[in-house]
Chain A
């Protein structure tokens, strides 16, 4: 697969990573792509590069269009290595090129690559004229690193927002209308990468709307390019950033000898009997990346753990640490679990779950050894009452 023309004189020249399954801990069953874009006019700009070891793929694609030595500008929207990882190779060939980045981007690239390159540092509203095509830059600090920025090609109404609006998908096609289940991967990407920055996302989208940037295509750095209805992914980001949830509960737990699992399944029964959607995940058998995607539109998050050595089970603690960093919005939840002689897990889960931002409900769901019949009934009853609270807070 070679270059792909997005717009007259704008090309995709990135690389497809079919086999990556663990992207810094994010599971990527569908692989991913590193999207670099070449904008060709009187001057030539390369917008971002690709992950290390994929430089050849990119340079081959560029060579189908121009000689890589004729690149005038290398735009670095984001320092992270999957985007900047081939900048050295490009700069070695393109002897006259300048690197364009934010002030923090320049500092980051210098730390990473020690390159003594000519830099142009840009702020929001700065422009570089390539000919008829003009590149315009928008700083987006903490979307999702301090150095991040968006590049906008005004003539083509094309937004290149780096890691925003991405999805981890490897495909032989490049556009959203050519690939299945794109929105699901976009939701997973948002939940696992961008969720902590929800307030910034809402502000930035508002700012872009006031800048009156007409957008009819969005080229993110991973996955497919949004061309069919680019406003759909913007609307989805607004919805996710506002924490809009469905009538849906998640039960996430681990178990040693099955007692915590009995509690989890009894609560599940109580919820399902009332007709509310629920999903159950045993942590050691589940994909954390997928669970976070499910949390995105769930209203209730219940977490359970057996007591191990006076505390919570390690898989539960690892999960809560991950979830805490991602700061989900507007959830209600509770802790449950089991113990042998001394308690410990439920208290620890409760404290950690509260720190993730979840509003904790009153719950008395901690049982010794194996829950008996009455205790199982209490779990079912808890699930039933939970659906009332979910319905109170979320209207269909």
Chain B
């Protein structure tokens, strides 16, 4: 599972950790995050994230 980076604030979404405060279970791949999920750090949408190698 790949990590994704917020292009606005550089927060990194790590699928192994998920986003428990945002209701996302550990082990959730980025692609399976709900459409209305937002960056936990700055609040922008999923479309502003980029995949990390």
Contacts and interface: CB of A to CB of B under 8 A. Distances in A.
A197 interface: yes
Contact of A197 (B8, B38, B43): B8
Interface string B35-47: 0001101111000
Interface class of chain A by DSSP? helix
A314 interface: no
Contacts of A200: 8, 44, 48
Interface residues of B, number: 10
Contacts of B38: 141
Nearest to A147: B43
Interface class of chain B by DSSP? loop
Nearest to B43: A141
A146 interface: yes
Interface in A198-255: 199-200
A139 B38 CA distance: 12
A142 interface: yes
B17 interface: no
A104 B38 CA distance: 12
Nearest to B8: A142
Interface string A145-170: 01000000000000000000000000
B47 to A, nearest CB: 8
Given A141-B42, A142-B8, A197-B8, 17 more contacts: A104-B43, A139-B43, A141-B38, A141-B39, A141-B43, A142-B9, A142-B42, A142-B44, A146-B9, A146-B41, A146-B42, A146-B43, A196-B8, A199-B7, A199-B48, A200-B8, A200-B44
Contacts of A146: 9, 41-43
A142 B41 CA distance: 10
Interface of B: 7-9, 38-39, 41-44, 48
* Interface magnitude class on chain A: under 10
Contacts of A139: 43
Contacts of A197: 8
A139 B45 CA distance: 12
Interface string A91-106: 0000000000000100
Nearest to A141: B43
Contacts of B9: 142, 146
A79 to B, nearest CB: 13
A197 B39 CA distance: 15
A196 B44 CA distance: 14
A136 to B, nearest CB: 19
A142 B8 CA distance: 8
Nearest to A199: B48
A142 B44 CA distance: 7
A200 to B, nearest CB: 6
Nearest to B40: A146
11 contacts: A104-B43, A139-B43, A141-B39, A141-B42, A142-B42, A146-B41, A146-B42, A146-B43, A196-B8, A200-B8, A200-B44
Nearest to A139: B43
> Which of B39, B43, B48 has the largest number of chain A CB atoms within 10 A?
B43
> Which of A146, A196, A197 has the largest number of chain B CB atoms within 10 A?
A146
Contacts of A142: 8-9, 42-44
Interface string A126-144: 0000000000000101100
Contacts of B8: 142, 196-197, 200
A89 to B, nearest CB: 28
A346 to B, nearest CB: 28
